[in-house]
Amino acid sequence: MRTKLASIAVSFFLGVAGASAASLSYAQDTGSTATGATQAASMTKAEKKAARKHARDKKNAELKKLEDAGYNPGRANDPNYPQDLQNAQKKAGIGAGASQ
Is 100 within a domain? no
Say if residue 24's pLDDT is above 70.
no
Is 89 within a domain? yes
Is 8 within a domain? no
96 near 86, Cβ under 8 Å? yes
pTM of the model: 0.49
Is 63 within a domain? yes
- Sign of torsion over alpha carbons 17, 23, 29, 35: negative
Which of the 8 DSSP states describes residue 34?
P
Say if residue 12's pLDDT is above 70.
no
Q: Which structural domain range is residue 82 located in?
A: 46-94
Structural domains in the chain (count): 1
Which residue from 67, 71, 95, 93 is spatially nearest to 81, judged by alpha carbons? Answer: 71
